[in-house]
Amino acid sequence: MIEIGNLLTHDQAEQLAIKIRNAYWDIEKFPVDPVSIGQKLGIRIVDAVLPEDIAGALLKKIGEGPIIMLHGKDPINRKRFTLAHELGHYVHRLERGHFDDQEIDHVDHRNQDSRKGSDEEEISANRFAASLLMPAQKVKSLCKHKVDVYQLSEFFKVSTSAMKYRLNTLEIDCP
């Protein structure tokens, strides 16, 4: 268990995603499938009819398993990132270790531009998601082979904006 207070630093979120990917996914296989990882964590993942401004939610009732709801009409790559983000919230709670019979009712609104935002847990969940789907090492090794951001986003099955953001975070220049 990673020793943390209530919040993960961004580096810890990055490391936690590596740990989860190593445990629940074949690290050589891309794109990473967050559905498979979530299911192995015992989470039910459902496409749902949600209000337009809600991207996803992580829910758990006492005595029941966790559920992640995704906005059913979102494009697949967006849903993959939202799911990875929700997994970040879940795993973060697991790591805090006082999880067993707690209720969770976490809803993610689109307009809370959390990539720039102030909510540290949201930023960490995004960092977790980016690291889970776009592992730093793999991004770096691909970038040595002169691939561009569009090829990268296709490879990792993420939106180009998520890919660009990841390259920025990792301070990698790609065409």
Judged by the rule CB under 5 A, the positions of this chain that interact with Zn ion are 108, 122, 125
Q: Can you say whether the dihedral through the CA atoms of 52, 57, 62, 66 is positive or negative?
A: positive
Q: Which is nearer to Zn ion, 95 or 108 (CB)?
A: 108
Shortest spacing between CB 175 and Zn ion, in angstroms: 31
- Least distance (Å) between residue 104 CB and Zn ion: 12
Minimum CB distance to Zn ion, residue 111 (Å): 12
Residue among 66 and 174 whose Cβ is closer to Zn ion: 66
Amino acid at 65: G
The position carrying tokens 């707690």 is 102
Instruction: Between 125 and 142, name the residue whose CB sits nearer to Zn ion.
Output: 125
Please name the amino acid found at residue 81: F
Q: Cα separation of 4 and 31, whole Å?
A: 30
Pairing state between β 44-48 and 104-109? unpaired
Distance of alpha carbon 93 from alpha carbon 140, whole angstroms: 30
Query: Measured at CB, which residue is nearest to Zn ion?
Result: 108
Which of residues 14 and 122 has its CB atom nearest to Zn ion in the complex?
A: 122
Closest approach, Cβ 167 to Zn ion, in A, equals 22
Map tokens 């990268």 to a residue. 152
